[in-house]
Structure 1
């Protein structure tokens, strides 16, 4: 009985190995998706909206599918790396949306990218004064900060997350807002 069970386990392991090898050979032949963010082609930030209380700036980043199969970006998040411990004078929020399909909510609607095609994603940063600062004061004291563009992609390859690290300087934001940066600690922010 024990040797028969061992034989079935060995057979099952061999079948699983052959299946995996077959899958890899098939994918190598048919190809898979390959989503490539074109960070070098990202546009410069520009003002999207400006009120007395809020500044919204945006940039466009192309995403290409350089693979042999259709791909899907299922989710995209722009995570701002500006914790209150670093700077609590402004509330900065990030958002990602498909170019030409703006949304009022923060939901990212999944999008297909056909093989050898490119789509544009729009990154938006909303900046508001916090802790009694008006918008100009908040921007004048703001430091440089990073953002993580996190996106979930899938196709023939199982769904997985990828991340791009981006940086924006206080000088870029101040120039867009028309605000002068304040000298702090003997040197200018940025």
Structure 2
């Protein structure tokens, strides 16, 4: 078990080409509910977003959705959630999700998914919050990003310490256990050359 009470899940508003993506979303929703962890997500009922929420609701879990009014029609807000917040901007959406979550998990998705999870990782790096982020690497989906992170470290644009603030894994339960662990104390490490 983890010390988590809530996890924000970022994922696609589409299903993608591999049925394993939807299966993973169902697994995440069900597992969070079974562990008594509140799902915080983007509020839609389409694609992987809908699958993760439906699975959590079906398993008796608490689900908090946050959706911008402009996406309400496109992503079709989920009507069966514990809480649904309709906000005016994406900034509000992400701020509420960050506030309500103890940690962040990314399933496969597109640019929005990538932007949302990397922002939270950056906020941890900058000390805005001390929350872990992880990529659920379903079918190797996130391997190119993992390779890019390694390259950022090798080329001096990211410290190994900051790279370690985000995790990649193909097994959900160990990822959730890791997300529940406290972060190590960070050192400020900036290149201050003129």
Question: Normalising by structure 2, what TM-score?
Answer: 0.25
- Greater strand proportion: 1
Decide which structure has the larger Cα Rg and report it. 1
- Greater helix proportion: 2
